[in-house]
Each structure stands twice: as structure tokens, then as C-alpha cells.
Amino acid sequence: MYTQEVEATLEQYRNAVNNARSEEEMQGLYSQILGKNGWIRKLMGNIKNFEGDEKKEYGQVVNTLKEQLSALITQRQQELVEKSILDTEEQGTEVDLAMPVEFREKGMMHPLSIIEQSIIKTFTGLGFTVVTGPEMETDYYNFQALNIPEDHPARDMQDTFWLSNGRLLRTHTSPCQVRAMEKLGAPLRIIAPGRVFRNETSDASHENTFHQLEGLVIDENISIANLIYVMKTLLSEVFEKNVKVRLRPGYFPFVEPGFELDLNCLICDGAGCQTCKQSGWIELVPCGMVHRNVLTMGGIDPDKYSGFAFGLGLSRLVMMKYNIPDVRMINRGDIRELEPFKTII
């Protein structure tokens, strides 16, 4: 059955398949060998020249040939696919992919908004509710409800912008304390970020318009030790490291006792440098235990509840965090100065 001619053709095809260089070439060979008009079909066509057992034997031989060649072709095809993948990877793309791309034009939130938002996130994570209050405030909420009656010397500490309608521009975010007590009652955990105003001459470190964030916690058995803990936790979050803080006496009529909270200088780690005026500490957060009179004004029973309040200088924090040398940058509106904040989302 295996005529010499068949042997030779088989050998020829085997070589052709093994030497094929491309998938196209393989497709051609497939048609020639296994296709509709291919060699195997032709061989099979010759079966009519046989009879009986020979016919059966011939059929088996051709089928074996078909299987062998089919396996060979499949194997070679896989090899070629593999080779072509390797070739493609080796060759790479036509373009130099290291070339820069231009990002779509991005804008920026004001650095103050960025910090404000990040602090809101920290506090809401700790279970604080965000409240807001008006910038055009009444004497009552800005002073009287905060235990600062008329002619109290503490009013001099806060040069006030007065308005023709009898109101004033709030000098601190503390009016939000009593507003929140009235609205939400005790227990209470709130923060109140906002813009505040002082009628003073501005320079690199003083502004007549700046931003604060008020915090207030009222509950049963709130202690000075709790205040220290919360402030330390908060500032560690803000500065993304474990900070050291200290309390010292401070005076604000709406707290008793009142404290100044100092932060261990982050520049020199407390060794003393220009930023901390060689003291190793930076005065950062005025705070204190809420005054009984203020609780009473807010409709909260001072015998049942106690609490603490603090005022974080947001503008100051923005300056510290982003190395802004002049506070007036914040309200200046010069896009060139805001451009570095493009990358922060």
C-alpha cells in the first residue's frame, strides 16, 4: 500500500510542515494536505481501486496518515503561534512608550478646602457631626452666650467688625457651640469649620479674615484627661505622625479651666529652632472645659454634663502643612500660587 510515491509525498509534506515559517504558510499546507481537494482526500478517493480486506487495510493506512499529519500540523501551528507571540513581544511597539502624555487640564481645590475636608473626614470618623453657623453673627452668640458680657475686657482681645444692622462678623467659630447645644442637646460631639474675622492690620502672620475649626464634646463625666487624649489623637491624624502635646493655662471666658495646647515642634522635634522661637513648642489649639454658664446658656444641665471645646486655627494649619510663608496668600487669588495644589485629590 505504501507506495514509494506515497512515502516520498509524505516525507515532502512532513518537511514542508516542519519548515513552515508563518501561520499563512501553514494554512496553505493544511489545504494541500487535509483540505477539500487535498492529498489525503485524493488518497482516500483511490479506495475504490481496492476490494475486501485490502480495501479495509487501505482505509486504515490512509486514516493513520491523516491523523499523523493532522497532529503534526496542529503541533507546528501551536509552535508558530507561540513564536509569533514571542516575536511580537520582542519587537515591541512602534512608538516609544516612555514619551510623556499630557493630562487633561486639572484644577484645584483651595489648600484650605483640602485641609478642611481632611479634618472633617478625621472627625466624622471619630463620630463627630459637622455643623455650620453664620458669619454675620449676633452679639448674643458671639459674646454673651459665651460668658462674655458687654464691657468684658476679653472683648478687647478680639477686635470686632461691627455691622450697620447691629450684628457683627463673628470673631471666632465658638458661637457654633451654643447654637449646636440649642439645636442638638446633650450628649454632643460636633465640629464647626468656618471663616472668622478680626479687625486688625494684616501682615505675613496676621489676617483680618481667617479660618478656624471649632470642636465641642459634651457628655457625662468628660474630663481634662479626655480632652488631652482627643487632641493628641486628632493632631496625630492631621500631621500623620504621633505628636507630643502639652497643656498650659490659658484664658478664654467660655471655658473653665482654659488651656493653651502646644504642639511639640515638628521641625526640630522639640530641640528649639526658629519656627518655635527656640522653645520647642508651638502654640496651636486654645481649648478648655466648657464653662458652666455656657452649658446653661445652651440649655444643658451643668450638674449632669461636662464637656470640652477647642478651636483649631485652620489657616495656621494650612500654612504649617504646606510651608506657606505668608497668610495673605490664602485670600489673594493668585492662580500661580495655587497651582502646586493641582496634584492633590
Partner 1 sequence: MLLSLNWLDKYVPLKDLDPNDVMHKLTLHTAEIEEVIEKGAELDQVLVAEIVEVNSMKPGYHFLTISTGNASHKVICTDTSLEAGDKVPYAPLNTVFGGKTTATKTIDTYTSEGFLLSEQEMDISTNESVVFHIDDVRAKPGMKITELYPFLKDTLLKLDNKSVTHRPDLWGIYGFARELSAIYKRELKPLDTELKLKTMVTPAPVITLEKNSGCNRYQGIIIKNIINAAAPLEIRTLLHYSGYATLNLIVDLANYVMVETGQPLHTFDYDQIGNVIIVDRAKEGVKVKTLDGETADVPANSVLIQNKDRQPIAVAGVIGGDESKIVSSTAAVLLESANFDATSIRTTANSMKRRTEASNRFEKSLTPALTDTGLKRFCTMLGRMQEQVEFSEITDVDVSNTKQPEISFKLDFARKFSGVELEHGTISDILNRLGFEHTYKNETYNVKVPWYRSPKDISTPPDLMEEIARIYGYDNIVPLAPAFKMAPVLPNTTSETEYHIRRVMSYVFGYVELRTYAWHDNRWLSQINYQPQNTVRLVNPRSVFHDQMKDTLVPALLELAEFNLRHHEKAGMYELSSIFKQTDVAVEKKSFAGLLFQKGGDLPNMFFSAKEAIGYTIKGLKNAEIEFRDGYEGEPRPWINKTSSVSVYVQNNFIGYISPLSARLGKKLFNDEPMVVFELDVDAIRDIQPVKLSYLAPPQFPSVKLEFNIVAAEKEKYNRVLQVVNGFSNPYIKRTQFKEFYRDEKRLPGQTSYLFMVEIGSDEKTLDSNEINQFKDQFIEHIKTEGLQLR
> Contact 287/255 with Cβ under 8 angstroms?
yes
Closest to partner 1 by CB, 38 vs 253, is: 253
Using the rule CB under 8 A, which residue among 10, 61, 182, 250 binds partner 1?
A: 250
Give the distance, in angstroms, between the CA of residue 49 and the centroid of all CA atoms in the same chain.
Answer: 81
Closest to partner 1 by CB, 149 vs 299, is: 149
Looking at residues 22 to 51 of the shown chain, list those that interact with partner 1 (rule: CB under 8 A).
none
The window from 49-57, 59-67, 183-191, 319-327 that contacts partner 1 (CB under 8 A) reads 183-191
Our finding on whether 129 is near partner 1 (CB under 8 A) is yes
Q: Cell 473653665, residue?
A: 256
The window from 22-30, 45-53, 94-102, 287-295 that contacts partner 1 (CB under 8 A) reads 287-295
Using the rule CB under 8 A, which residue among 49, 165, 274, 323 binds partner 1?
A: 165
Q: How many CB atoms lie within 10 A of CB 328?
A: 15
Our finding on whether 95 is near partner 1 (CB under 8 A) is no
Our finding on whether 205 is near partner 1 (CB under 8 A) is no
Best CA proximity match to 105, nearest among 339, 336, 332: 339
Our finding on whether 162 is near partner 1 (CB under 8 A) is yes
Q: Could you tell me which residues come within 8 angstroms of residue 345 by beta carbon, excluding any fewer than 6 positions away? A: none
Q: What is the DSSP letter of 206?
A: B
Our finding on whether 132 is near partner 1 (CB under 8 A) is yes
The window from 27-35, 64-72, 74-82, 117-125 that contacts partner 1 (CB under 8 A) reads 117-125
The window from 72-80, 94-102, 106-114, 263-271 that contacts partner 1 (CB under 8 A) reads 106-114
Q: In 3-state terms, what secondary structure has residue 103?
A: coil
142-165: burial string, b at 16+ Cβ within 10 Å, e else: bbebbbbeeeeeebeebebeeeee
Our finding on whether 314 is near partner 1 (CB under 8 A) is no
| Residue 128: φ, ψ to 5° | -90, 145
- For 231-304, list the strands marked E by DSSP: 245-250, 255-264, 281-290
- For residue 26, the minimal CB distance to partner 1 (Å) is 41
Q: Cell 468628660, residue?
A: 222
Our finding on whether 274 is near partner 1 (CB under 8 A) is no
Closest to partner 1 by CB, 55 vs 248, is: 248
Our finding on whether 300 is near partner 1 (CB under 8 A) is no
Looking at residues 206 to 225 of the shown chain, list those that interact with partner 1 (rule: CB under 8 A).
208-209, 217, 219, 221-225
Our finding on whether 232 is near partner 1 (CB under 8 A) is yes
Using the rule CB under 8 A, which residue among 248, 269, 301, 340 binds partner 1?
A: 248
Using the rule CB under 8 A, which residue among 51, 96, 102, 151 binds partner 1?
A: 151
In the chain, how long is the greatest CA-to-CA distance?
129
| Residue 325: φ, ψ to 5° | -80, -20
Best CA proximity match to 283, nearest among 259, 307, 255: 259
DSSP code string of 116-138: HHHHHHHHHHTTPEE----SEE-
- For residue 239, the minimal CB distance to partner 1 (Å) is 16
